[in-house]
Amino acid sequence: MAAKFDTSEFFEDLGWQIWSWRMGRGMTQKMLADACGVSPSRISMIETGRSKINFETFLLIAKALDVEPYRLLDPKEKDNLVRFEADPEMQKILAQMKELSEEAGKEYNFKQ
């Protein structure tokens, strides 16, 4: 009997890659959705691994992100994340997001 392939983990990894490349390209979910002809909520579902993706949409996303499709399939692909983390402007934005998140957590009593 063949080993069962865990598709949920596959689609979570793929979604993370799409999110990472989208952020690295400075695109919003709406921008990516418009480029692919899908809704922003569909992009959100794909990025969070809550929705499967067909091959045509996969190729449209890769094209919109200007990335070779195979790079979206490699969960160990780090080039984009390294560029994202190395960008000084992104570091400022991430610091601001963290600060806002901490403030919201205190206001709404979220545990950090």
In a shared domain, residues 51 and 87: no
pLDDT given at position 30: 97
Q: Which residue has the higher pLDDT, 98 or 109?
A: 98
Helix 40-47 with 7-24: angle, nearest 10 deg: 120
Please state, in angstroms and as integers, the Cα–Cα distance from residue 57 to each residue in 34, 51, 53, following that order: 12, 12, 6
In a shared domain, residues 88 and 70: no
Residues in the chain: 112
- State both tokens at 103: 């403030």
Q: Which residue has the higher pLDDT, 1 or 22?
A: 22
pLDDT tens string 55-79 = 999 999 999 999 888 888 875 665 5
pLDDT band per the 50, 70, 90 thresholds, residue 27: very high
pTM: 0.65
Residue range of the domain that includes 87 = 78-112
Please state, in angstroms and as integers, the Cα–Cα distance from residue 68 to each residue in 33, 43, 112, following that order: 18, 18, 37
Mean pLDDT on 23-48: 95
Please state, in angstroms and as integers, the Cα–Cα distance from residue 7 to each residue in 24, 50, 53, 71, following that order: 25, 11, 11, 18
Determine contact, residues 59/69, Cβ cutoff 8 Å.
yes
In a shared domain, residues 52 and 12: yes
